[in-house]
Structure 1
Amino acid sequence: MKVNRYTAFVAGTDTDVGKTVVTAGLLKAFEAQEYSTLGLKPVSAGCEVTHEGLRNEDALILQAASSVKVRYETINPVAYEPAIAPHIAAMDSGKNLTASGLEGFIRGAMLKPAKVKLIEGAGGWFTPLSYRETLADLVKRLDVPVILVVGMRLGCLNHALLTLSAIQQSGLTLAGWVANKIDPEMSRYQENFDTLMHMLSAPCLGEVPLLEDSSPSNVAKYLDVSALINNH
């Protein structure tokens, strides 16, 4: 039975593992299955100052890849200019960054008419929001399944298994994972991929190779969302 609506949090094994590329590709893969889509990036750092306000490149990619069009601030309500950890940027700005505050922004975005909503994290699973909270606390409050982007490079097995353990200890479900090839020189890629296939307790949604064209529509060709939308 095909689900009518689907919401998930997209986490990464680390920073710079291709969460945005994969999230945007997933949005297009869902759209190809005739779902309306909306990608969210609740908190971002490393933003550009524009005449419209701070703008984050990743959030703009998600905005463009979403079939439901909303204001930028709906997609990325908390934006910081310095390319540093969000909680440090928040402290520098004299503002509090909290899981409950981000949850409020996301709950508002949930009212938009998109059938599929994907919420992209920042950095890895335990990226701090403050000295007391991490992004994991936000996902627990939202109580949504998790899609894990594994940046395929040396060390990814440990990072992926640690993240899986943390997700499970939070009482959350890993709904699926994506292997994103980010290191062209990675040794024994296939053996590493096979290890993840055996040890991650969720379906692999696809392998994204190194692409000259990393547009969302092209990335979507390497992804299969059927395991997410078919309710067994």
Structure 2
Amino acid sequence: MNHSESFSGLQARGLFVTGTDTGVGKTAVTAALAQRCQKEMPRVAALKPIVSGVEAHGQWTDVEILRAASTPPRSFAETCLYALDLPITPHWAAAQAGLLIDRQQIQQFIMTQSVGMDAVLVEGAGGFLVPLGEDWGFAELALDLRFPVLLVVGLRLGAINHALLSVEAILARGLPMAGWVANHLHPDLAPGTLETLHRRMPIPCLGEIPFQAEASSAWRSQFLSLPACWY
């Protein structure tokens, strides 16, 4: 299946959510954005096609958060295609489980789950260049989708370099970018980080989420704007 056969006919607004690293709040931002979409769109799907790292009680927390944030709420199988136990990079977790992540199956999964939706948010895992196979990864999946890319920037020491390198890699592939979101990971922020990012990032900022432990997706949603490229 190629892009023209699969995604060009979708009526839903699409977005591919990536991050500057692992642990920067991609799931929190994706869920919050799904909640923000609800104000204007009755049917929103937040998807995480691949997750690695099962947590307590045998749950993949990221998937549970996204399926609950969708409208209407989705089942696990409607939110995630590959759920891998080991908390390591997905292609390696799949190999340890004796699995091969299939690029076309992921495309078909996203296509199927997008039918009838007003907006579809697809969250990656780790950063933009994380591999999913021997010769492809999330960068190639983003190219398959051709959805605008949203970059989640976890505000901590090193964020400036990670953010600018990520944007450079995304734009170098000719992908459209919806913007970036500043996500506070700690109460304190390295001086100058946010100010520098606002000056240097060549794409719009769609919001700044303050630090608050255990905040709900609905609470975070108030700090986000929808991408201008959707309109």
TM-score, structure 2 as length reference: 0.89
In the TM superposition, 1:135-214 aligns within 5 A as: 135-188=138-191, 191-214=192-215
Match of 1:58 among 59, 62, 69: 62
**Residues 1:123 and 2:126 aligned together:** yes
1:37 Cα deviation (Å)?
0.9
**Residues 1:33 and 2:40 aligned together:** yes
Q: Residues 49 and 217 (structure 1 numbering): CA distance in 2 closer, same or farther, change over 3 Å?
A: closer
Question: What is the aligned partner in structure 1 of residue 14 from structure 2?
Answer: 7
Retained in 1: the 8 A contact 2:19–2:26? yes
Retained in 1: the 8 A contact 2:179–2:227? no
Q: Residues 35 and 148 (structure 1 numbering): CA distance in 2 closer, same or farther, change over 3 Å?
A: farther
Match of 2:79 among 48, 69, 75: 75
Give the SS at the match of 1:75.
coil
User: Which stretches of structure 1, 4 residues or longer, exceed 4 Å deviation after superposition?
Assistant: none
Give the SS at the match of 1:90.
helix
In structure 1, list runs of 5 or more residues that go unmatched. none
1: distance between equivalents of 2:97 and 2:124?
21
Match of 2:23 among 7, 10, 16: 16
In structure 2, list runs of 5 or more residues that go unmatched. 1-10
> In percent, how many aligned pairs have the same letter?
37
1:221 Cα deviation (Å)?
1.1
1:57 Cα deviation (Å)?
0.6
1:93 Cα deviation (Å)?
1.5
Q: Residues 225 and 90 (structure 1 numbering): CA distance in 2 closer, same or farther, change over 3 Å?
A: same
**Residues 1:44 and 2:51 aligned together:** yes
Q: Residues 214 and 49 (structure 1 numbering): CA distance in 2 closer, same or farther, change over 3 Å?
A: closer
Match of 1:102 among 106, 110, 128: 106
Per-residue CA deviations over 1:43-89 (Å, capped at 9, x if unaligned) read: 00112586xxx641101100001113333112111001111111111
Count of residue correspondences: 221
Per-residue CA deviations over 1:129-160 (Å, capped at 9, x if unaligned) read: 12321111111111111011000011111111
Give the SS at the match of 1:64.
helix
Retained in 2: the 8 A contact 1:41–1:119? yes
Q: CA RMSD in A?
A: 1.8
